[in-house]
Structure formats: structure tokens, C-alpha cells
Amino acid sequence: MTYDFDTQIDRRNTGSNKWSKYPADVLPMWVADMDFSAAPPIVAAITERLQHPVFGYCSAKPELREQIVADMQAKYGWTISAEDIVFLPGVEPGFNMAIKALLKPGQTLAIQTPIYRPILMAPRHWELSQVDLRVDLPVAEQRSSLALADAVLLCNPHNPTGKVYRRDDLLALAEATGDKPIISDEIHCELLYDGRRHIPIASLDPSVAQRTITLMSAAKTYNIPGLKAGFAIVTDTALREHFNASRLGMVDSVNILGLEASLAAFRDCADWRDDAVAYLQENRDYLAKAVAERLPGVRMEAPEGTYLAWLDCSALGLADPQSYFVEHARVAFSAGSDFGARYNQFVRLNFGCTRQTLVEAVDRLASTPAFAGGR
């Protein structure tokens, strides 16, 4: 491994959401960013841009568009054109724009549950009905739910379970949705374990691409979410125009440093990414073993992608596992109820941290009355 992911970087007093929400003695393992420094080419690209002292409104350079086109071909065998790409300040505004473009109030959106909170909230924002797709069941068994929906918002790789949809699942989804639109949040697509390969649903077939808005970003994989840059790929010209028109004065252009960082990430950081994924996979394996051996009553399925683990704490009989762990272990996870009302016995653990932090978190958990007896 060339890069160092073991050094503990003090993130307090840097404006970090993750590190400022809880008191100093609490280990934060909630919001989805990692505690690693960005890859050196990203830091260099930003530093170089700062040497030019004018920071006016900006657009993506042709070089970034060409890089993304080449990446889609090389990584996924997906042929797109430079003009198919729409740059956005984030994936979250992207899926809200897509919903606005595709659906009218009163229509029905299918979402997976449990699900990342801003996706869970989206049907309510846009006055839509919601139909749930179960992440733990094959898509082929959920045709009747899909039949009720006017569009699907897919999150793949999936937050919070780390599930990576296989080709047969994606084909079943494409088939079951007929000609209905698909919004596909693929923000975690380069964080896959055990040699898995990501498949953008739009890459299955040009007819699927034609009705799909794909959302991606360098933010998660290269750990630059604070730079606020992402993009949509919309191959159908009319749909792309409609999507762009849904900015409605609320979705602005992209931060200039975010664009520079994205280009450096995609062009120059493949080796850093591979090292990061290898390190995260070891974190995942450590955690899965530690949960099985030291946290009896907690169930965890090893995530196939993402740096998120979804822990089922139902057997512990706690009123509120998230608050319990903050209070007794001084470790802060995301509360399961954020991902759907039914999941209040779950927590989401972010293992995008140094091994030392992860080991410390497990030690703290294991010594609480929930596991050490005497509760």
C-alpha cells in the first residue's frame, strides 16, 4: 500500500460536521465522509488553482467532460458523449431536480427502504406517493410494487446496507419498470469490495439509458464531499433539457475548486482509490469479525460496497440504540430511524476511519453493559 490511511488527522475546529456535532470525548462514526486526507494530486490541483487570484463564475473544462466520457467507457463499457454530462453542486440536488423533472404531485415514486434520509424525504418534498422496494429481496419478486410506481429512484451501491446490485437484479428492474423513468444515485460506485464491478443501470442498454438520469460524483470515493461537485449523465436530449430546466433558481453552478478536484481525482488518483478501497475492505472485515465475536446480539451483513455498515441491534432490547451508544460507549452512529420509521433498532456505522479509531470504537462498545453484562 503506497498511501497512508493510518495517521490520525485532527479534524476538530475545521468546520467538519462529523467532528463538531458531539462532545470531544465522543467518537463520531455517523455522517458519510472519511477521516483520510484527500489524495496528493487533488490537494496539488486545488493549490495550483489558488495561485490564480480570480474566482469568478465557472464551468467545467472540456478536459473534465472528456475524462468522464473516457472513464465511463473504461470502467463500465458505457459509451456516452461529453454533452450528456450536466454538472451539479451535489447528487442530492440532482435527484431532487430529476424528481421535479419527471413527476407531478400525486404521482408515485418507488424508493428502496431502508434508505439514505434525503431520498426518504424526497417524495414528501415533491408531494408524491411512495412505494417501498425491499433491499433484502430480489427485484424480480417485487414486480407488483414496481407496477404501482410512475418512476424509480434507485440507490446503487445502496446506503445504508452497502448492497451492490448485480446485473440480474438491474435487468429485472429495467424490465419490470417498462418504459418508466429511472433516477439512479450511483455516488458510491467506486467503493466496491471483493473485486466487484459496478454496473450503471443506464449502461445495460441504450433504451434504458434513454429513460435514466444517472447521478455520480468524486465526492465519496475520493473523500471530497465538502467541495460540492457532482454530475448527472442524461443521454436523451429532451430529458436532459427538461432536467436542466428543473434547477428553478435553486440549484447553482459548481464550485470552481470542486471542478478542479474532480478532474484531478478521476485523472490522477486511481492508485490512491485502489489503496483506499483495500484499506476500507480490511476495516469492513475487521468490523464483521469483531461484531460476530464481541458484540453478541448485533447482526451485521458485510457490506459489498460503501464504507457504511448497517447494524441490527433488535436483539439487545434497547429503547434507542443510537442514544444508548452515545451515552454508554461515547460512540456516535447514525440512528436507524433516519433511514425509515421501521428501523429504529438499527444504527449505521461509518468505517471510513483509521483502523485505530475503528478498534477503539469496538472496544468502547464491547465494554458497555449491553455486551459486558450487568445492564
Ligand X SMILES: Cc1ncc(COP(=O)(O)O)c(C=O)c1O
Q: Under the rule (CB under 6 A), what is the footprint of ligand X?
A: 32, 90-92, 116, 155, 159, 185, 187, 217, 219, 225, 230
d(CA 92, CA 60) in angstroms, rounded, equals 19
Cα 375 to Cα 100, 213, 324, 371, 372: the distances in Å are 49, 49, 11, 8, 8
Residue closer to ligand X (CB basis): 159 or 368: 159
The rounded distance, in Å, linking the Cα atoms of 349 and 76 is 29
Of 306 and 357, nearer to ligand X (C-beta) is 306
Give the torsion through C-alpha atoms of 265, 267, 272, 276, to 10 deg: 60
Residue 116 or 325: which CB sits closer to ligand X? 116
For ligand X, the closer of residues 181 and 230 by Cβ is 230
Nearer to ligand X, 253 or 314 (CB): 253
Strand order, beta sheet including 129-134: 85-88, 230-233, 212-216, 182-185, 151-155, 108-113, 129-134
315: DSSP letter: G
Q: Smallest distance, Å, CB 186 to ligand X?
A: 9
Query: What is the smallest separation between the CB atom of 47 and ligand X, expressed in angstroms?
Result: 23
CB 100 within 8 A of CB 247: no
Cβ-closest residue to ligand X? Answer: 90
Q: Shortest gap between Cβ of 32 and ligand X (angstroms)? A: 4
Query: Least CB distance from residue 119 to ligand X, whole Å?
Result: 7
Contacts of 56 (CB under 8 A, 6+ apart): none
CB of 149 to ligand X, least distance (A): 19
